[in-house]
Chain A
Amino acid sequence: MAQLTHRASALHKSIPAVLFAARGLATASTSPITVETSLPFTGHKIDPPSRSVETSSQELLTFFRDMALMRRMEIAADSLYKAKLIRGFCHLYDGQEAVCVGMEAAINKKDCIITAYRDHCIFLGRGGTLLEAFAELMGRKSGCSKGKGGSMHFYKKEGGFYGGHGIVGAQVPLGCGLAFAQKYSKDESVTFAMYGDGAANQGQLFEALNMAALWDLPAILVCENNHYGMGTAEWRAAKSPAYYKRGDYVPGLKVDGMDVLAVKQACKFAKEHALKNGPIILEMDTYRYHGHSMSDPGSTYRTRDEISGVRQERDPIERVRKLILTHDIATEKELKDTEKEVRKEVDEAIAQAKESPMPDPSELFTNVYVKGLGTESFGADRKELRTVLP
């Protein structure tokens, strides 16, 4: 199988199929295959969509590659953090890939996504590149935030990705605000405001949800329930961990978040609903293999058996691999080759990111304002370092 050409862009949705030399993707059929989701959807105050999801060989192969790429990126980030090339906080998404990949399959770039700090893979899904991600993690110029944001503050505005937020729960009212603007501008698009089971108890979520419902905002609240808010299991934090029901008067859907086709179906359903009827909650039942962050071993509050059990029974990439093999869309070897390519792509991006220089010291003072108005700003020693803001 010929090598895939080195691409800056991580995901293949944006690349014409003809550029792929890989047998699977280039020649893969787009004719519909119908697959049943692993579990039925459960609805709260709404009739759930059908379990039968339409997909295609090409889509399944794309799902496989995209999730494998994200998995590889997160594992590589783990090593970079241990090598001290990434500093501060680093929250990894491995295990949850199906949520952002399935979501992307149901939406377009005019729709908006906002999330908290576990944002690397969602960034890739919105069109971010591996180079931008790794360079940002390492605090370099080529980073998506020019090295000034770090792991928790990835953004891609032209791809409809509004970050990347460090304060638990804050992104939900912000997401409802994006939806407010979308409705105000009548642009027929929706916002997916993502949050975790830890954030699901935040008061500001309910304040924003109430307003979204009052004003029929096209806001879809997506709870990525990985069952732990840092070290606290959901049953210790929530009187009712049925997060899809927590909207009360707002309908909700419970989705197997490890099944990329279920996620796609749910997001498609939610988008249609939100454009007509206002907010809806999607609870994605998912799992993170890593601890809360690189500072958390993730094993003091969960058993290793639980973690390996999920990996064996519910891994999102393995599920798609099985589907691909069962439907004879590709061979095991071809899929392994894809994984090797993806690994190489990640390694090359890291090497390139390492070459990117650190930001220029003058960047300390850029982007404080859009319009500086001649304001002075100062360094730590105001008589040694002072500047007029650009």
Chain B
Amino acid sequence: MLGIIRQKVAGKLNHALNFEQGVGAVALRAFSSSAKQMTVRDALNSALEEEMSADPKVFIMGEEVGEYQGAYKITKGLLDKFGPERVVDTPITEAGFTGIGVGAAYHGLRPVIEFMTFNFSMQAIDHIINSAAKSNYMSSGQISVPIVFRGPNGAAAGVGAQHSQCYAAWYGSCPGLKVLAPYSAEDARGLLKAAIRDPDPVVFLENELLYGESFPVSAETLDSSFCLPIGKAKIEREGKDVTITAYSKMVGFSLQAADILAKEGINAEVINLRSIRPLDRSTINASVRKTNRLVTVEEGFPQHGVGAEICATVVEDSFEYLDAPVERIAGADVPTPYAANIERLAFPQVEDIVRASKRACYRSR
């Protein structure tokens, strides 16, 4: 199927794969006053609820997911609806409960393991990589691991060095894992449902600051059968002058940057990656072949980051199309400071994306 897709024209490809964008866009223009809004939190909660209703093998495990209703209220109401066998509160022991979750997946259950933040997943990373990601391969297909690891990833606000790291690049480099990073409510619903249904281990990187944000959702998105394909990026905003790739919260910043750039006559195309692994190289390359310029945006550390991989992929596949060096906007190359003024310097701001885009268009100074 992938081979066939590669032969299609880029524009048609994007339209076909991003049908829901078209629906959403039409809904917005024609019916903006009646478009339903949903927070990312509610999107995740409803996705969990629907998947748990549909498949009794799906269960949730993590700290404060049950009686506390979720540290960030993502699992609110689920304990009441499904009971303590399916919504399991754990002690503060990530290595232990992650191993237990992976073991349950070996035996055919479909666990959703919540990390209160992905910083704590480091306590359990051996199980995510060695016990989950590699098992299907090592057992040549006998032991598959239909597990989802989800939770907030990246920076929040003022939470300091040990609570602010983005793990997209680390998990994204590991074969055997699928790694998703939703942005909008539609992403959250469609990608989480896809992740739970997927037979492989999925790392699902949410963002705390996006939980409370509302997005318009179509009737199709709200349907319980709604699912988004894993491995496909979404073109959030079409453009022709420069391609901006981003994931999670940075998609919002990139869209803001695109509005600012538009006022200066630069028409930016913003790609919401949605999937870190598999990375949608064809959408990215098709876009760069159209715009000839690329800015990658991420919150994580720059060295060996997601942007570095995107740059390499474009240089490998679309070198002749590049009219300017690839620009990388990323988190600063330092542990995250607490003080507000320097924390701001540690993460990409809209003006950084604007500036890099202008440089890519040879429009700075």
Contact = CB atoms under 8 A, between A and B. Distances in A.
Contacts, number: 157
- Please tell me the size bucket of the interface on B: 35 or more
Given A232-B68, A300-B68, A383-B359, A152 B341 contact: no
Interface string B194-222: 00000000000000000000000000000
A361 B346 CA distance: 10
Interface stretch (A48-56, A161-169, A315-323): A161-169
Nearest to A236: B89
B22 interface: no
B141 interface: no
Interface string A132-159: 0000000110000101111111000000
Given A88-B158, A153-B161, A382 B328 contact: yes
Contact of B92 (A148, A202, A382): A202
A118 B160 CA distance: 14
B148 to A, nearest CB: 22
Interface stretch (B103-111, B270-278, B331-339): B331-339
B346 A364 contact: yes
A288 to B, nearest CB: 16
A203 B330 contact: no
Interface in B296-341: 302, 327-335, 337-341
B257 to A, nearest CB: 12
A134 to B, nearest CB: 14
Interface stretch (B168-176, B177-185, B258-266, B347-355): B347-355
A13 interface: no
B56 interface: no
A328 interface: no
A359 interface: yes
Contacts of A382: 302, 328, 330
Nearest to A168: B92
A330 to B, nearest CB: 40
Contact of A237 (B92, B160, B329, B335): B92
A20 interface: no
A158 B347 CA distance: 33
Interface residues of A, number: 49
Interface stretch (A61-69, A97-105, A373-381): A373-381
A289 interface: no
A325 interface: no
Given A87-B157, A168-B92, A381-B329, A301 B68 contact: yes
A210 to B, nearest CB: 16
Contacts of A383: 327, 356, 359
Given A88-B156, A88-B158, A364-B345, A380 B331 contact: yes
Contacts of A128: none
A8 interface: no
A385 B345 contact: yes
A358 B356 CA distance: 28
Contacts of A149: 160-161, 338
B290 interface: no
B332 A378 contact: yes
Interface of A: 87-89, 139-140, 145, 147-153, 165-169, 198-199, 201-204, 229-232, 236-238, 300-301, 358-359, 361, 363-365, 368, 377-385
16 contacts: A88-B159, A89-B159, A153-B160, A153-B162, A166-B161, A167-B120, A168-B92, A232-B91, A358-B341, A361-B341, A368-B334, A379-B345, A380-B348, A380-B352, A381-B355, A383-B359
